[in-house]
Copies of this chain bind each other. A is one copy, B any other.
Amino acid sequence: MTGQEIAEAVVSEMWRSDLASQKLGMRVTKIAPGYAQVEMTVSGDMVNGHSTCHGGFVFCLADSAFAFACNSHNARTVAASCSIEFLAPAYAGDRLVAEAKETALRSRTGIYDVTVANQNGDRVAFFRGRSHRVKGDIIQTSAGDGS
């Protein structure tokens, strides 16, 4: 399998059990080794007490893109810490796109930068995630015995 095939198979496998991202209406629109693009529309249920999208849902979208990007090499990897800078509010009906890029990967630790923008290309948030590799893989990449 190529790196690209592995990345696609990993995300398919993760997606099946990722009820959180499914229920939030996310869609994975691009995937590559160390890279993921995920989209989500802000629903009326995501609005907070200031009548804008609750920052937690912007974080959810960025965090999912981060998770797909950092697991795309097929080594099980979790978030150790994340930071998010809110640049502009998002509103109900906005179509948000999160693009996650691997900016560093050394041994078991990686850094991923995610930009969240709306349908007009306005940047809504910057997110930086630090990943930590744990034991295990997401998918099996060898065909096994004799096949």
Q: Give the B-binding residues of A (Cβ under 8 A).
A: 13-21, 23, 44-51, 53-57, 59-61, 63-64, 67, 71, 76, 78-89, 103-104, 106, 109, 111, 123, 126, 128, 130, 132, 138
Contact = CB atoms under 8 A, between A and B. Distances in A.
Contact of A56 (B15, B44, B63, B123): B63
A104 B80 contact: no
A12 to B, nearest CB: 10
A interface SS class? mixed
Given A47-B17, A84-B81, A87-B106, A64 B60 contact: no
B126 A109 contact: no
B79 A82 contact: no
A131 to B, nearest CB: 11
Given A15-B49, A48-B18, A104 B83 contact: no
